[in-house]
Amino acid sequence: MLNEKELAEVRGAEDWEPAEVLLERIKAEKVGNRKKRKQTTEKQKNIIQEDKGLIQQATLQAFEQIDK
């Protein structure tokens, strides 16, 4: 357990913040990270859809070449 002097030194540190503030910052970061992941997932879905379209187009072109 910290004595009063040690506690005062810790609280006087440049990077010290109360536990409540730290917890709120962590919660905000988690929410931000979820939003980023969701955006990344949406981008990945869009890329997959585009790739599927390109594959279908290439397949149709290949079949058209075979039919000629």
Q: Give the pLDDT confidence of 14-50 residue by residue, as tens digits.
A: 888 989 999 999 999 998 888 888 888 888 989 999 9
Question: What pLDDT score does 37 carry?
Answer: 84
Q: How far is CA 10 from the centre of its chain?
A: 33
Q: Where are the alpha helices (DSSP H) in the chain?
A: 4-12, 19-67
CA distance 28 to 51: 35
Check whether 2 has a pLDDT greater than 80.
Answer: no
**What global pTM score does this model have?**
0.44
